[in-house]
Structure 1
Amino acid sequence: MSALIWVIAALLLVGAEALSGELVLLMLAGGAASAAVVDAIADTPAWAEGVVFAVVSIMLLGTVRPVVRRHLRRGPTVSMNVQALEGKSATVVSTVDDQDGQVRIDGDLWTARPLNQHDVYETGEKVTVMRIDGATALVWRG
């Protein structure tokens, strides 16, 4: 009978977790499910089921929750917008110096400056986009 109570508690905790999104109640639901399994396998006293619930919940909160949160917080793995251009190869279209220049990145023309102010890149050279500063590509021979 108490296994049914633990299952109901686990389901209620999962439902409440859907509203909160903090993953704490989900870990507690895992503890309740574990207590239900222990009760279903062996006829244990209520205090033993409570200990199983507490131990499993604490273990889940301390080990699984941080990993899942880190995984969920991670940004997109695909670079977007100007971040996608960093590290790309470009071809110099007009001489790039500390004052002026243009490069072609994936078919698009960009104004460019060298990453190192004293470098000069001539037309036709291959460069690498190191960073985008506003609408200007900072490039480096590499």
Structure 2
Amino acid sequence: MSTTLIWTIVLVIAVIVEAITIDLVSIWFGIGAIGALICDFLGIHEVVQVIVFAAISIICILVTRPLAKKYLRGNTVKTNLDRIIGKHCLVTEVITADQKGEVKVMGNLWAATSLNNVTIPAGEYAEVVSIEGSHVVVKKLDKGEDISC
């Protein structure tokens, strides 16, 4: 099989994979294959063609992938659950290191554990740090912090 055919097949496969995934996973190999095809048309040895293919592909990945990921990521839309992170809540059942408690956040009751397994008694206020599965992780608010649930 001729090297022209091989580089053409690599180029076509890279373009097809890129068209199917639209995630910028193979376009760089297509660009590398174009460089190798140019070398083939100029009559350059096959070993150099492979080196040109690899070099162009790697350079394209290193230069463009971070930029592409940054600009093509899109906006992350928070779900309704994400909006409770950072909100203050009232502890309605004591939270201990060994047992989940319960907190009221924005009018809803959640099972809760405390950050660093600190005991938080009922009636205290806390801040939601994260959501883990079906419960929230909270940290106890200091006395001087603004308490608004």
TM-score of the pair, normalised by structure 2: 0.49
Map 1:1-142 → 2, pairs under 5 A: 12-17=9-14, 18-19=16-17, 23=26, 26-34=27-35, 45-47=42-44, 51=48, 53-65=49-61, 68=65, 78=76, 84=82, 87-98=85-96, 99=99, 101-123=101-123, 125-132=125-132, 134-141=133-140
Specify whether residues 76 and 90 from structure 1 end up closer, same or farther in structure 2 by C-alpha distance, changes over 3 A only: farther
Specify whether residues 61 and 37 from structure 1 end up closer, same or farther in structure 2 by C-alpha distance, changes over 3 A only: closer
> Shift in Å at residue 110 of structure 1?
0.3
**Pairs aligned (count):** 124
- In the alignment, the residues of structure 2 paired with residue 139 and residue 62 of structure 1 have an alpha-carbon distance, to the nearest angstrom, of 45
Cα deviation digits, residues 47-96 of structure 1 (max 9, x gap) = 27973x43431113434447749x5xxx9984878x94795324115143
Q: How much is the aligned-residue C-alpha RMSD, in angstroms?
A: 4.7
Aligned-residue identity in percent: 17
- In the alignment, the residues of structure 1 paired with residue 93 and residue 113 of structure 2 have an alpha-carbon distance, to the nearest angstrom, of 9
Specify whether residues 56 and 16 from structure 1 end up closer, same or farther in structure 2 by C-alpha distance, changes over 3 A only: same
TM-score of the pair, normalised by structure 1: 0.50
- In the alignment, the residues of structure 2 paired with residue 104 and residue 76 of structure 1 have an alpha-carbon distance, to the nearest angstrom, of 33
Structure 1's unaligned 5+ residue stretches are none
Cα deviation digits, residues 97-127 of structure 1 (max 9, x gap) = 3246422335432022333445224436232
- In the alignment, the residues of structure 1 paired with residue 11 and residue 29 of structure 2 have an alpha-carbon distance, to the nearest angstrom, of 9
> Shift in Å at residue 46 of structure 1?
1.0
- Whether the 8 Å contact between 1:131 and 1:137 is mirrored in structure 2 is yes
Structure 2's unaligned 5+ residue stretches are 142-149
